[in-house]
């Protein structure tokens, strides 16, 4: 399995004991949260895009997005270097194949949010030199050149500079990730992109009507582009119908806190203690996989679980990186054949 999104570097940065201490967060043992070497092996993970996520909040911006981004990339690279028997830094497709041949997990880096480049193509190029191989154009907040799915639209999609960002990423060979962006931004990217895009961790909006998911009209454009939707295991994006949307609206109304706001995690923990979050199932996630297949085609569906150190927020039965075989078993029960599963 090549997974599109795991937030382990941010778990180490924010929740390690002590925070940011790569050596103290021992991946050779049973690490806190959802990810360590033994469980990656049990899950059959052969390649992992490690997200080098930094928040898009004004508080982080005031201290410097680029500084936070460089620190997060440093953490990820030190994790890869610390476990050479398990991980191998991959900068190109051949490196992924080489890691697989040597029995190691190909490790790639993905920036989550274009705020990290601070409106600088030079910064984008510098991150590429450091090993970053995809960038999600926005996170919870929009930026000066692209609209987010979870923020007030400012541009109606991409600005002219946003178009130049996409073109420069294509030139560099950096995957354009359009998870988290608005539907208008998705369409604008597909209008200009000259290489396949990815959704590193998104599901089908037709099944789960959160703005974070992908509308069918965008899925239908993927065959022409060649892109891939990598389906997430997070309950928020996988529970079907409007049950989760109603729960989320009630949470935001009662707490006054929205996705991406400072204090969101703490407010959510307090709220869920009294009002449990609707929980997705393996069947829900499999339904999303099949919907992407049915609308876009089997060549355009993948897995981007989005493990971020909170097993309780994942679909039941898909709580950690050892659980990928459970999803494949469900797809086999539904009649998927080896060739389709291998894709």
Please write the tens of the pLDDT for every residue from 205-242: 999 999 999 999 999 999 999 999 999 999 999 999 98
What would the 3-class secondary structure string for 68-101 be? HHHHHHHHHHHHHHHCCCCEEECCCHHHHHHHHH
Which one of the listed residues 3, 34, 112, 188 is annotated catalytic?
A: 112
State the distance between the two ends of the chain, measured CA to CA, in whole angstroms: 9
Does 3 participate in catalysis according to the annotation? no
Which of these, 314, 342, 332, 285, lies nearest to 35 by C-alpha position?
314
Burial code (b: 16+ CB inside 10 Å, e: under 16) for 195-233 equals eebbbbbbbbbbbbebbbbbbeebbebbeebebbbbbbb
Contact 121, 168 (CB under 8 A): yes
Does 306 participate in catalysis according to the annotation? yes
Which ranges of 112-194 would DSSP assign to H, the alpha helix? 121-129, 160-172, 183-192
Which one of the listed residues 3, 115, 128, 139 is annotated catalytic?
A: 139
Which one of the listed residues 3, 7, 151, 284 is annotated catalytic?
A: 7
Which one of the listed residues 306, 319, 320, 330 is annotated catalytic?
A: 306
Collapse the DSSP code of 319 into the 3-class scheme (helix H, G, I; strand E, B; otherwise coil) and give the result.
coil
Contact 7, 306 (CB under 8 A): yes
In this prediction, residue 168 carries a pLDDT of: 98
- For the cut 90, the answer to whether the pLDDT of residue 7 exceeds it is yes
Which one of the listed residues 5, 128, 141, 244 is annotated catalytic?
A: 5
Beta bridge partners of 204: 214
In this prediction, residue 262 carries a pLDDT of: 75
In this prediction, residue 94 carries a pLDDT of: 97
At residue 261 the predicted structure's pLDDT band, cuts being 50, 70 and 90, is: confident
Which one of the listed residues 115, 128, 180, 244 is annotated catalytic?
A: 180
Contact 162, 201 (CB under 8 A): no
Residue-wise pLDDT for 53-102, tens only, equals: 999 988 899 999 999 999 999 999 999 999 999 999 999 999 999 999 99
Report the range out of 211-215, 254-258, 260-264 with the highest average pLDDT. Answer: 211-215
In this prediction, residue 248 carries a pLDDT of: 85
pTM here is 0.95
- For the cut 80, the answer to whether the pLDDT of residue 323 exceeds it is yes
pLDDT averaged over every residue in the chain = 96
Does 139 participate in catalysis according to the annotation? yes
Does 5 participate in catalysis according to the annotation? yes
At residue 258 the predicted structure's pLDDT band, cuts being 50, 70 and 90, is: confident
- For the cut 90, the answer to whether the pLDDT of residue 263 exceeds it is no
Which one of the listed residues 115, 128, 141, 201 is annotated catalytic?
A: 201
Residue 76 burial by Cβ neighbours in a 10 Å radius (0-12, 13-18, 19+): buried
In this prediction, residue 114 carries a pLDDT of: 98
Does 7 participate in catalysis according to the annotation? yes
Burial code (b: 16+ CB inside 10 Å, e: under 16) for 42-53 equals ebebbbbbbbbb
- For the cut 90, the answer to whether the pLDDT of residue 269 exceeds it is no
Which of these, 47, 32, 96, lies nearest to 230 by C-alpha position?
47
- For the cut 80, the answer to whether the pLDDT of residue 187 exceeds it is yes
């Amino acid at each position: 399995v090549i997974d599109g999104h795991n937030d382990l570097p941010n778990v180490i940065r924010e929740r390690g004991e002590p925070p940011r201490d790569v050596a103290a967060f021992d991946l050779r043992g049973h690490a806190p949260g959802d990810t360590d070497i033994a469980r990656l092996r049990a899950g059959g993970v052969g390649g992992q895009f490690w997200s080098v996520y930094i928040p898009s909040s004004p508080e982080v911006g005031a201290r410097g997005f680029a500084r936070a981004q460089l620190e997060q990339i440093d953490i990820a690279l030190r994790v890869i270097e610390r476990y050479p028997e398990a991980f191998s830094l991959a900068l190109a497709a051949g490196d992924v194949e080489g890691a697989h041949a040597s029995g190691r997990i190909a490790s790639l880096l993905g920036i989550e949010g274009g705020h990290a480049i601070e409106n600088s193509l030079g910064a984008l190029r510098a991150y590429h030199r450091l090993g970053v191989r995809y960038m999600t154009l926005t996170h919870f907040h929009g930026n000066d050149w692209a609209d987010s799915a979870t923020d007030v639209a400012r541009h109606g999609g991409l600005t002219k500079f946003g178009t130049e960002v996409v073109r420069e990423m294509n030139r560099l060979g950096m995957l354009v990730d359009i998870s988290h962006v608005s539907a208008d931004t998705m369409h604008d990217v597909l209008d200009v992109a000259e290489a396949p895009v990815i959704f590193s961790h998104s599901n089908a909006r037709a099944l789960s009507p959160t703005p974070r998911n992908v509308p069918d009209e965008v899925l239908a454009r993927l065959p022409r582009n060649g892109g891939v939707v990598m389906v997430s295991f997070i309950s928020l994006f996988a529970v079907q119908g409007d049950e989760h949307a109603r729960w989320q609206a009630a949470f935001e109304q009662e707490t006054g806190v929205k996705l991406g706001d400072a204090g969101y995690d703490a407010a959510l923990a307090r709220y869920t203690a009294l009002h449990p979050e609707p929980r997705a199932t393996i069947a829900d996630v499999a339904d999303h996989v099949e919907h992407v297949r049915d609308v876009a085609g089997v060549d355009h569906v993948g897995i981007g679980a989005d493990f971020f150190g909170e097993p309780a927020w994942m679909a039941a039965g898909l709580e950690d990186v050892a659980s990928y075989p459970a999803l494949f078993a469900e797809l086999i029960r539904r009649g998927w054949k080896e060739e389709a599963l291998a894709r």
